């Protein structure tokens, strides 16, 4: 499953690095529909994310009915992402049975 969207980078006092981009509600509903098949616990969803020219693995966090995409510090620096910026994101969620060790 590949999803593309743009959203505003926000600060949330959750796990580091504190900058996240919320997935729009309609796309969050699509993720929720497959979540039982891809989560490795706590409702988090492993994903490969691309912002600009930077690709990285992370986990999407459920929060208030949508998912949050963490923007790692190395990505913030490489792509110049700051709170309040509009960020274009591609999320890839693997629907195949993959070893969850890849995501830890």
pLDDT tens digits for 54-71?
Answer: 999 999 999 999 999 999
Least confident residue range of 30-34, 75-79, 100-104: 100-104
Domains of the chain: 2-96 (2.40.30.100)
Predicted TM-score (pTM) of the model is 0.86
Bridge-based pairing state of the strands 86-92 and 45-51: antiparallel
Structure tokens at 55: 């690709």
């Amino acid at each position: 499953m590949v999803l593309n969207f743009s959203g505003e980078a926000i600060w949330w006092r959750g796990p580091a690095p504190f900058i996240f981009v919320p997935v729009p509600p309609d796309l969050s509903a699509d993720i929720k529909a497959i979540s039982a098949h891809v989560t490795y616990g706590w409702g988090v969803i492993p994903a490969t994310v691309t912002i600009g020219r930077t690709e990285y693995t992370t986990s999407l966090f459920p929060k208030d009915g949508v998912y949050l995409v963490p923007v790692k510090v190395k990505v913030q620096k490489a792509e110049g992402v700051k709170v309040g910026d509009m960020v274009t994101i591609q999320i890839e969620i693997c629907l195949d049975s993959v070893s969850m060790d890849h995501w830890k």
